[in-house]
Structure 1
Amino acid sequence: MPDQLLLQATAFADAVTAPAAGDDLSAPVPTCPEWTVRDLARHLGRVHRRVVLTIDGGSERMVARDAEIPDGEPPASRDEVATWLLTGASALATTLSGADPDREVGGFVGPVTIAFWARRQLHETLVHRLDAELAVGFPPLADVAPELAVDSIAEWYDLLTAYRSGSQRVRGDTSIHLHVTDAPDGEWLVRRGAEGVTITREHARADIAVRGRAVDLLAVVTGRRALTDVEGLAVFGDPAVAEDWIRVSALG
């Protein structure tokens, strides 16, 4: 996973250096309202550094967003921002590679394993790469393997199940089946009930089904692209059912 993290961080940095990002990285990021490309780069670079500090520290919680982070602010130059991003990503990859994956360190609300952070940071970087590429007009996730996109969807839903499955926001009375067409093991059944939501990986009938490539489903599931804007997705049933689920579940 650390090697993949570096690949995704490099693709993110490539988008940051694109002319469309603006000389001062002031281009807006449509998928992150009120953020510019510079804001997005700052966020990802600081997250990578915060996780390194978290792993190196002894706290049961992740280092806070507003904590003092060494080298925590991006440089002014666009090209130097790309270098700054890759420096942080490289430090994180090295830290993850050198640690016992089963060792517990600080997490969002309590201890998690190093393996948790390796997976979380890979997919954090991948999804923000998508944000950056959409902002500058690059073909989104053009070289991403379907299997990686499948795991990114799975990790997204693992987080939702762990931290938000009982929230009022995701409750309902509908079911949605998602089916990846270009990779194995890419099926999810989402059941929204009065007590919350359950998400299982299975093939089953639902109120609505959405089928398509893994990278396209990832963009939709994470709220980065609208269901109706992605060519090649097949929707069976009332699209409003899926659109409502995407709206309430795409919280990151």
Structure 2
Amino acid sequence: MTDELMVQVTAFADAASAGDPGTPVPTCPDWSLRDLARHLGRVHRRVAETISGAGDRLIPHDQVADPEPPVAPDEVATWLLAGGAQVVSAVTSAEPERRVAGFSGPARVSWWARRMLHETVVHRYDAEVTVGIEPWVGVGPDLAADGLAESLSLLDTFGERRAALAGSGETIHVHALDEASCEWLITRGAGGVVVEQRHAKADVAVRGPAAALFAVLTNRCSVDAVPGGLGTVEVLGDGAVLRDWLRVSGL
């Protein structure tokens, strides 16, 4: 996983350093390309320092070492690669099952490794569409499916804390067609969200290649505007249920 993380950090760094730092990021309203680079670089450093340190508290973003990307665009990539390397070093130096600070309590080091991989993949998409590069070239179905599963697990984890995710029993079936057993049922109950990995009839089904679904369900693109290289997404059933879910579920 750490090798794949550096592949994705490199792709992000290439894109984030290829354009005007002031260019608005269409998938992250109110952020410029520099803001996006700053965010991911700080996240990497924050997690690396949390794992490498005592691990009993999540280091605040504004307290990480070297928190600002260089002014010179040609140095931004080096700064981003350094942050990614810090994560890899921290993860590989720690026991995978060791518990350190997480978002809402202790989290395993292996959980953070996966979280950082997919945080980077998603923001790679943001950077690439900002500078006009075809997004996610080389992101295979296995990586995209795992990213989709990880993003859904976060919703399951935080569902009870996010009132907007609750509902009155609406159901969404997600099916990645190019990866075996990649099917989920999302149920918006009164007490929050429940995500189950199984096939089931639902109010609405959304299916397609894993990468296309990953882009749609992380609100990187709409169902009818998936970049051509990722494939197409099909919606069956009550499209309003899916639209409302996408409205409230962005991470």
User: With structure 1 as the length reference, what TM-score do the two structures score?
Assistant: 0.94
Which of 136, 145, 155 lines up with 1:160 in the alignment?
A: 155
Equivalent residue number for residue 96 of structure 1: 91
Tell me, in whole angstroms, the C-alpha distance in 2 between the residues paired with 1:205 and 1:38: 43
User: What does residue range 135-174 of structure 1 map to in structure 2 within 5 Å?
Assistant: 135-165=130-160, 167-172=162-167, 173-174=169-170
Pick from 56, 59, 62 the counterpart of residue 66 of structure 1: 62
Write the mapping of 1:93-242 to structure 2, written as runs, cut at 5 A.
93-165=88-160, 167-172=162-167, 173-230=169-226, 232-242=232-242
Q: CA RMSD in A?
A: 1.3
Aligned equivalents of 1:171 and 1:70: distance in 2?
Answer: 38
For residue 71 of structure 1, give the secondary structure of its aligned residue in structure 2.
coil
Q: Is the partner of 1:243 in helix, strand or coil?
A: helix
When normalised by structure 2's length, the TM-score is: 0.94
For residues 208 and 171 of structure 2, the distance between their equivalents in structure 1, rounded to whole angstroms, comes to 18
Q: Indicate if the aligned counterparts of 1:171 and 1:196 stay in contact, CA closer than 8 A.
A: yes
Unaligned runs of 5+ in 2: none
* Change over 3 Å in CA distance of 1:88–1:166 after alignment to 2: closer
In the alignment, structure 1 segments of 5+ residues that lack a partner are none
Q: Secondary structure at the match of 1:225?
A: coil
Question: In 2, distance between residues paired with 1:109 and 1:66?
Answer: 19
Which of 25, 47, 54 pairs up with 1:29? 25
> How many equivalent residue pairs?
246
Is 2:14 aligned against 1:14? yes
Secondary structure at the aligned position of 2:58 is classed as coil
* Per-residue CA distance 1:76-121 (angstroms, 9 max, x = gap): 1111001100011012112211211011111112221111110110
CA distance in 2: counterparts of 1:210 and 1:113, whole angstroms: 31
